[in-house]
Amino acid sequence: MNVIDVTPRPAVITAAVRFLQSPVMSILGILFILTALKWGTLLFVVPQYETVIITRFGKIVRTITAPGLKMKLPLIDKVKRFDKRIVAWDGPPIECPTKDKLYIIVDCFARWRISDPMLYYNRLNDERSALSRLDDILGSDSSSTTPYLLAVVSAFAFFASILLHELGHAVVAIRNGIPILGIDLWMFGGVAKLGKDADSPGVEFRVAVAGPVVTVVIAAVCFGLASAISGTSDAINSSQFDNSTTGTTTAVLGYLATINIFLLVFNLIPAFPLDGGRIARAIAWKLTGDRNKATRFAATLGRLGGYAMIGLGAYLWIVSGLAFTGLWLAFIGFFLASAARSAEAQAEFAGRIEHIRVADVMDAEPVAIGEDAPVSYAEHTFFLRYGWPWFPVVDAAGRLVGVVSREALESVPAEERDTRTVGSVMARDDGTSGLRVRLEEPLETLLSQEGLARLGAIMAVDGEGVLRGIVTVDAVRRAVQTPA
């Protein structure tokens, strides 16, 4: 049986407990932690076998050779450590030709030590650079182009992986009725530009998850091929960037397997507009039934993820001294946070106009030219009369078949304009050129239509493709500026 002590506590103890639970103690605790972190970056230890150089904003301020506990300015001074001991270097075996045109195997071995730490830091910065310099001077065949060829092949293969990732999104989007305006490859990876948003959470999820699935397949295939060529052990070593890997093909395949895993993990971060954020939006959309609310939720995750990357990048730069890594991570975080804010603003805007349809803003009396009309008739009756740069073209049943411009008519020789028809010179529309939109589509769909930006207007058609109206940029602008 449990016994509960109900003896009243003295007033002093009660007051002490309340004080410990108060916001004041929380603030004091935070200040204590910050102070501990500050003093943790103030003191450092110099072992007997190391020489330390202190740099401030990239410039050397002092050199420490005596061992012991030392002090530096926190968050400003950087500690560069160099080994005083003799360091070994073992170069790779290389083939050297003799006068008899025979090749012998030469194995290079060297021992070296840092005699002038300041000169060493100014020239090479760290031990890895020194070993690389020794490799260039002693341990490599300067006439070999294999390393450069491998670097080029690996770079192209990596971009091919990104392209396949985006093609995965594109193929699934097209199969679900979403047109693709193009695929852009750039410094952060790639993006498949969708012609419109998904119309259901299921479609959103399938499109978002397609890219990561392709990346998993690429990583598995690369690792499987590396294992088949050199064995599982070498495949694991190559995927860990181990220099002991034998075989150039295995090295490239191992690199591709690892870099695609990194790409997968990064893309699955639940930060919109990454794939993980789009998956989170699809799940939130399914649970709430509101796409705009789900977008705002995913965008909030994206902003938080971006701010976290910026904070981590600042820590790596200021505290750990990894300037390039920290700046790059902070830059990516800034990009994610900005993209998330844009998506959040777009969701709020879409929420204001979600009740407006194409039929609500179109001009219901479109002026169109029949495709069988002679070029001379179209020129005098339409272009000279209205002065517009282009007109929609319809067939005998009133279905939209294309667009004809003034330049297209003027390209026809004068003696042929009475016999040539408009249908022979028009730009034909097959339904995928971005020149048409359905009557029941939401107004938000128009904002991403390429035809609206290219022509300044877009044709509204019914379910059978019959031209029912024209939506101009001015009409869209008036609709979105009208208070909801």
The rounded distance, in Å, linking the Cα atoms of 178 and 207 is: 10
> Cα angle at 410 between 408 and 411, to 5 degrees?
65
Whether omega for the bond prior to residue 147 falls within 30 degrees of 0, making it cis, is: no
The rounded distance, in Å, linking the Cα atoms of 316 and 323 is: 7
Distance of CA 197 to the CA centre of its chain: 19
Choice among 95, 166, 407, 415 that is catalytic = 166
Contacts of 193 (CB under 8 A, 6+ apart): 180, 181, 182, 183, 184
Written as one letter, the residue type at 178 is I
Q: Find tokens 């493709």 and name the residue.
A: 465
Q: Determine whether 166 is an active site residue.
A: yes
Going by the DSSP 8-state scheme, the letter that residue 135 receives in this structure is I
> Token digits for 330?
């902070």
Instruction: Please report the DSSP string for 304-331 in residue order.
Output: HHHHHHHHHHHHHHHTS--HHHHHHHHH
Contacts of 302 (CB under 8 A, 6+ apart): 271, 272, 273, 274, 277, 336, 337, 339, 340, 343
> Cα angle at 193 between 191 and 197, to 5 degrees?
120
Task: Classify residue 7 by burial, with Cβ atoms within 10 Å: 0-12, 13-18, 19+.
Answer: exposed
Quote the crossing angle between the two packed helices 201-230 and 275-288, to the nearest 10°.
140
Q: Find the Cα–Cα–Cα–Cα dihedral 385, 387, 390, 394, rounded to 10°.
A: -20
Cβ count within 10 A of residue 93: 10
The torsion region of residue 202 among left (phi > 0), alpha (psi -120 to 50) and beta comes to: alpha
Specify the DSSP element, H or E, that contains 342. Answer: helix 323-353
What are the residue numbers of the active site? 166
